[in-house]
Amino acid sequence: MLLKNMQIPMRRKQILKMNKKIPLRQCVGCGEMKNKKEMIRVLKTPEGPIVLDFTGKKNGRGAYLCKNEECLKKARKNKGIERSFKMAIQNEVYDELEKEFGEAYAEQ
Ligand SMILES: [Zn+2]
């Protein structure tokens, strides 16, 4: 985890350079701004359930996370997704998201 934190200043510099062209989104876990293509969208669907939107194209209200399980865990702790969606999120929902996340972006 320490290694990842050390990489942040460099990424930030790169992002500033490209700032004009690229739509940035803030990660609800670590708070970093990133190209939304590098992120995963957490979607609150009109029907209610919260899902991971791997295409970024589904309808609904979205929150963004880095493609990093740690950020989902941080978001769970700091209630970033709750704030973003203005609703309470049950533990089971997080468990389900973490499972999906882990399957998609397992650390090697
Ligand atoms: Zn993050």
pLDDT above 60 for 4: no
Residues around ligand 1, an ion, CB closer than 5 A = 27, 29-30, 66, 71
- What pLDDT is attached to residue 17? 62
Q: Which CATH architecture has domain 2-105?
A: 2-Layer Sandwich (3.30)
Work out the average pLDDT over 83-102: 93
- What pLDDT is attached to residue 60? 87
pLDDT above 90 for 107: no
Task: Give the pLDDT confidence of 10-63 residue by residue, as tens digits.
Answer: 666 665 665 567 889 999 999 999 998 899 999 998 887 899 998 888 888 899
State in Å: Cα 71 to ligand 1 middle. Answer: 5
Helix (H) or strand (E) holding 4: helix 2-17
What is the pTM assigned to this prediction?
A: 0.74
State in Å: Cα 43 to ligand 1 middle. Answer: 16
Residue 33 CA to residue 56 CA, distance in Å, equals 17
State in Å: Cα 39 to ligand 1 middle. Answer: 8
State in Å: Cα 88 to ligand 1 middle. Answer: 21
Q: Where are the domains of the chain?
A: 2-105
pLDDT above 60 for 84: yes
